[in-house]
Amino acid sequence: FFSIAGAWRGTGVIEHVVVIQGRLDMCTGGVWQTIDAGKGLRFAGDTAHTYRNSSDQTVHFHSLIHYPRD
């Protein structure tokens, strides 16, 4: 089991999380969701968010952060 809180980003930042292997639990805006391999989640980077692996399986995922142009 692991859990890590993501850093809050600036206004207008969009984050994309794509699970490559395993299953990842994510909390965004106070709501927990489970993301299976091959699926993803997009959310505003300026909101509180937490990543968690609550299983005994390894999880591999990509976190892509899109910063808006000024």
Q: Which sequence spans correspond to the domains of the chain? A: 2-66
pLDDT for the residue 7 = 62
Using CA atoms, how far apart are residues 22 and 29, in angstroms rounded to an integer?
23
Residue 56 has pLDDT above 70, yes or no: yes
pLDDT for the residue 40 = 98
Which residue type, as a one-letter code, is found at position 62? H
**Domain 2-66, what architecture?**
Sandwich (2.60)
pLDDT for the residue 11 = 82
Reading the block at residue 23, the tokens are 């299953």
In this structure, are residues 16 and 35 in contact, taking their beta carbons and an 8 Å threshold? no
Its pTM surpasses 0.85: no
